[in-house]
A = this chain, B = another copy of it.
């Protein structure tokens, strides 16, 4: 009963009408010929693949899960075939450099594709989820020979990739990692150690897997400054192709997880694995970090996709399920009861889902466009402005949108009532699947710290001010054509309060270093609301202009009403978070550690 309809119309609205993506991309210094028509065709085709092939494997993948059989991971029925069709259709190549066989599409199109894949089957999509990050990492840091060997296979999707960072005793704190790399006479390294939570650490649908592994070279300094990055293929090259022998590694177990059960999350043992250094020794963390913004935006995209799937299911159910009469009297007297969509509280939950999904889509597509502007913007100003915004808003998108998606997914259960708690409707799976997004690629607490300490306080709030000035200009100085009344005042109030916060926190932190950690999460959520409310204000401007022009497309009335809902019922959360962020560290640190007991 799992439903997923591709939200093509809203995707088009964001890409073309809100962001004017084609024009932005055309102005970049990398010539990309992705016009509106090509974009729409690509989205439509991937959407059909996701909505049919992938969606029908989603519940089964969760039910069956993955297992290790004689040292080999077995993925759920149908996953391997679907992956092969995906590769044969050429979709993995979409957004990569033509030099390595890619189609050169912009990052925003990649995000749109990823949204649909994650929505339809998040477990399956995980096998493909690190590809872009691995590509960027190798593209930036690997030697020309390494690039020539690995990248065409990563771009085509013939080989999948993993990121081997976490170990049992370290996740957030990679400085503690223990995996060792010993240099060999031939320039390779022998790698030994155990890695944990490796998505797609093994699978049964490609001939090879490219592991990017963090390890310490013999004699390296302790901490993060002694970590190097290695490329370690599952099968080593030999004359004419790949060695049939497995490189020294085993997936020792597949984790039994709350969700994403179609994805093989492996415990990996590297035993005398042959690997090669990527980039320079002891610069592994820096080299790995090149992929971090796109990976974190990828998680935000996953959240948007799953929230969309939850909204889709809940909306379908709310239209069909008949319980009680509407408060104002029967709306469907022909039926034994009214559809529950007629009840205000159900509508509140549906609109919350819709608003979170649409806000999230605007934010991640915009950030994806900025990723390309950072790399390929026509001039230095464009590039550095984009880089500043990406740096500031990536942790916001990752944490804010994954939390909102969890809320949206849970509303789908609630709207289904008892039927949502059983497996048949598929919505409880969405909650289980999306829960991890708040954790991986840096927990949301890590995102909050990154935002407040490194992105805001480190430059004295300059980048934050630049963004808030842009919001201010748009809503207070006529920057948004068509902006209807009622939007400027509440948003500006939150902006003003937010702007004053860094100086206050920075001052307090001089006396108590915990002040930053104590305020981070609430600060992040407030900024997330500002970003999303601003994007909704822009969307409301576009919608209002179209409505005045007499459009018959129902999207615009829907968009305007959703924007108003956001301002009435979701934006007020920002003021609460600002209030809490101002409350300081005392309420956390006054309680002695030994007074925290059960």
Chain A residues within CB distance 8 Å of chain B: 5, 7, 10, 166, 169-173, 175-176, 196-197, 255-259, 265, 308, 311-312, 315, 322-324, 326-329, 336-337, 341-348, 350-351, 354, 406, 410, 413-414, 417-418, 420-424, 428, 431-432, 435-436, 438-440, 443-445, 448-449, 512-518, 520-521, 554, 557-558, 561-562, 564-565, 568-569, 572-573, 575-576, 579-580, 583, 585-598
- Chain B residues positioned under 8 Å from A431 (CB to CB): 258, 435
Tell me the complex Cα distance, A337–B224, Å.
13
- Chain B residues positioned under 8 Å from A171 (CB to CB): 323, 417-418
- Chain B residues positioned under 8 Å from A322 (CB to CB): 169, 173, 176
Q: Pull 25 A–B residue pairs with CB atoms less than 8 Å apart, ordered by A.
A: A10-B598, A169-B322, A173-B322, A258-B431, A326-B513, A326-B514, A329-B513, A341-B593, A344-B516, A344-B517, A344-B520, A345-B517, A347-B596, A350-B596, A354-B596, A414-B444, A418-B436, A418-B439, A421-B435, A421-B436, A421-B439, A432-B432, A554-B597, A558-B597, A568-B586
Query: A328 touching B513 by the CB < 8 A rule?
Result: yes
Known contacts A422-B256, A449-B345; A5 and B598 CB within 8 A of each other: yes
Closest to A419 in B: B171
Query: A422 touching B568 by the CB < 8 A rule?
Result: no
Tell me the complex Cα distance, A514–B348, Å.
11
- Chain B residues positioned under 8 Å from A315 (CB to CB): 596-598
Query: A414 touching B432 by the CB < 8 A rule?
Result: no
Tell me the complex Cα distance, A182–B503, Å.
75
Query: B344 touching A514 by the CB < 8 A rule?
Result: yes
Tell me the complex Cα distance, A46–B391, Å.
54
The 7 closest A-B pairs by CB, nearest first: A344-B517, A327-B513, A258-B428, A561-B591, A568-B587, A173-B323, A328-B513
Tell me the complex Cα distance, A172–B562, Å.
28
Query: B568 touching A172 by the CB < 8 A rule?
Result: no
Closest to A591 in B: B561
Query: B312 touching A598 by the CB < 8 A rule?
Result: yes
Q: How far is the CB of A192 from chain B (nearest CB, A)?
A: 20
Partner of A348, one of B323, B521, B593, B595: B521
Query: B568 touching A258 by the CB < 8 A rule?
Result: no
- Chain B residues positioned under 8 Å from A557 (CB to CB): 591-592, 595
